[in-house]
Amino acid sequence: MPDIVKNEYRIIFPALVVDVQDPLDLGRVRAEPEDKSILAVIEAYGIDGKYKWNTDPRKGPIDPLVVRPLVPLFLSLPMIEGERINIFYQNSLYPWQDAYYVPGQYSSPMAIPFENFQAMKQQTGEGPQILPTLELKNSEGEYNNPQSEGIFPQPEDYGIIGRGSADVIVKAEEVLVRAGKTQNLSVHDYPIGYTRRSFLQLTNFKETLIKQPPRKTFRLEDDELFVRYLVEWDIQNLDNLLGRFTGSVNLYKLPLSRSATTETIVFDSDLSSISQIYYTQQFKNESFDDAVEIINNFISDVAWNNLTIADTGESGPDLSENRFPFIFKPNITTINSVDGNVSENNFDRFYNNISFLDVDYNNPTNQDNGFGIVLSENATGKPTKTVFSEIQETENTTNPVTYGILGADNVLLLSHLAKELDIENTIYGINQSQILDNILPNTSSMVRGEELISLLNLVIKFMISHVHSYHGLAAVPVGTDGTTVQQILFELNNANQTILNQNIRMN
């Protein structure tokens, strides 16, 4: 007999499922082995329709295509005609007797609804010949589409997966029963989680979380403000060796522009196209120290709104409104004139000594030298804003706590004893027609407790505070505490939506 088997040591034989309607309901299938030499011997039996599924020799020829499930009956692993299974023979020399099967390997969890015989070879040695399917995750274990996360069991969890959108997930401390976890399963598209699934979740938390009273806190964040004025210092002869300098310090007015903010202006920004000259002070043939003093005094005068005309001592322009924040910086012409050691050294000297002498002028580390943002008479630096928030902290206790959660678009709680319902022939599930025709008309909406208490409190407040204009007359529609009949009627009119939950019903 070994001549009918390509390899007498082979133990797994792929086969095509041709029939799944087991008369004994034992999970058996009829399958044709892919190995044609085995199939030829089996076909020699000449089994016709009369003896299909027969495994009792007393009733006639045994059907050699019948294959038993290798897993116990307690766990059903249904196959579909046209799919691939793996057959194990008790004796490979007699492959038509005592055969057992396990389902073949699917190419992708998205193929669970059905995958044909050829496609199921994708994860076998013949896989390179078959077009690969979509991969849910990349090599780092991250989902290629984040919306696919959670649809299929994680590697650390047990799962019983249905052919469609239903499954049971058993985690370390949780059981999750779901239906409608996704609206589409296709090998051509990534599955998308459906948030309105129906589910039952039973969870044991080993620790109890207790919310603490919210704690108010704040943090500082960088702020971006429009710059209203610009002070630019300009040295015209940086390359001179005599230590006598000619230049100017100029005040410009800036428009409200994205190009003129505390974030966009840097020390070498060229703002000539948008700036408007507002005031200027020139100096000629001054020593280094005197030139620095003129520029620094100018910056301080702008901050303190104390500009004066140097020649006459008269007051300069009034900057009492909207002068902050302003920026001081070197003129772009001065920056571009730096060429050679002499001019570079002189530029660095000016840059390191020009500053706004604010309240911290005794501390050189607090100065913005050469370029800086002046926020007020006493502050420099980048602007910040205070962001207030509340922190909700929790405390862990060692006391375990369990939760049972039931969720769906519509939740029905049915008791066989509370109210008679015609639910005959529903042992394998209740269909939508039975829900619409029988269950919904014979169930009542659940009551929202807090909303009901609120209405009762309103009624009681009116009962306690109401008065009558005269004995025998109806109560005045406004109670002494301000409660009104109109409020009560309004709440009663809305009770069907506010107090009753139409989507959670019971009998």
Nearest CA-CA partner of 185 in 137, 136, 129: 136
Average pLDDT over residues 338-349: 92
Nearest CA-CA partner of 381 in 403, 355, 404, 401: 355
- Give the whole-angstrom CA distance, residue 367 versus residue 296: 12
Residue 64 has what pLDDT? 84
Stretch (H or E) spanning 99 = strand 99-103
Among 24-38, 89-103, 136-150, 454-468, the least confident range: 89-103
Average pLDDT over residues 298-320: 85
Sheet holding 411-413, edge to edge: 411-413, 500-506, 444-447
Q: Strand, helix or coil at 160?
A: strand
What is the chain's Cα-based Rg? 43
Helix axes 449-465, 485-493, angle to 10 degrees: 160
Residue 260 has what pLDDT? 95
Residue 421 has what pLDDT? 79
Burial class (CB in 10 A: 0-12, 13-18, 19+), 498: middle
pLDDT higher at 487 or 50: 487
Domain 2-104 has CATH 2.40.50: yes
| pLDDT tens-digit map of 407-419 | 999 998 888 887 6
Cβ neighbours of residue 286 under 8 Å, at least 6 residues apart?
244, 245, 246, 294
Residue type, 126: E
pLDDT higher at 424 or 250: 250
- Residue 128 is classified by DSSP as G
Residue 280 has what pLDDT? 93
Long-range contacts, stretch 135-142, CB < 8 angstroms, 24+ apart = 136/108, 136/109, 136/110, 136/190
pLDDT higher at 437 or 129: 437
CA contacts within 13 A on the Cβ side of 432 = 1
pTM: 0.62
Confidence class for position 134, pLDDT limits 50, 70, 90: confident
Burial class (CB in 10 A: 0-12, 13-18, 19+), 396: exposed
Q: Which of 35-39, 355-359, 402-406 has the highest mean pLDDT?
A: 402-406
Asked whether the predicted pLDDT for residue 208 surpasses 90, the reply is no
SS3 assignment for 180-210 = CCECCCECCECCCECCCCEEEEEEEECCEEE
Confidence class for position 281, pLDDT limits 50, 70, 90: very high
Residue 272 has what pLDDT? 93
Cβ–Cβ under 8 Å, residues 444 and 505? yes
Among 356-360, 439-443, 462-466, the least confident range: 356-360
CA contacts within 13 A on the Cβ side of 8 = 6
Residue 41 has what pLDDT? 66
Average pLDDT over residues 480-505: 88
Cβ neighbours of residue 197 under 8 Å, at least 6 residues apart?
165, 178, 179, 180, 181, 407, 408
Q: Strand, helix or coil at 152?
A: coil
Average pLDDT over residues 334-353: 93
Average pLDDT over residues 100-106: 92
pLDDT higher at 78 or 425: 78
Asked whether the predicted pLDDT for residue 3 surpasses 60, the reply is no
Backbone angles phi, psi at 109, to 5 degrees: -65, -20
- Give the whole-angstrom CA distance, residue 146 versus residue 133: 18
Cβ–Cβ under 8 Å, residues 391 and 214? yes
| pLDDT tens-digit map of 344-390 | 999 999 999 999 865 444 444 445 788 999 999 888 888 999 999 88
Mean pLDDT over all residues of the chain? 87
Average pLDDT over residues 459-463: 88
Residue 433 has what pLDDT? 85
Residue 363 has what pLDDT? 45
SS3 assignment for 2-33 = HHHCCCCCCCEEEEEEEECCCCCCCCCEEEEE
Could you tell me the two tokens for 402?
Answer: 């369990």
Where in the chain are the domains?
2-104, 229-386, 413-506
Among 93-97, 280-284, 434-438, the least confident range: 93-97
Residue 51 has what pLDDT? 83
Confidence class for position 479, pLDDT limits 50, 70, 90: confident
CA dihedral 180, 181, 183, 186 (to 10 degrees): -130
Residue 7 has what pLDDT? 57
Cβ–Cβ under 8 Å, residues 494 and 478? no
Confidence class for position 249, pLDDT limits 50, 70, 90: very high
Residue 95 has what pLDDT? 63
Give the position of tokens 């060429």.
339
Cβ neighbours of residue 147 under 8 Å, at least 6 residues apart?
190, 192, 193
Asked whether the predicted pLDDT for residue 42 surpasses 70, the reply is no
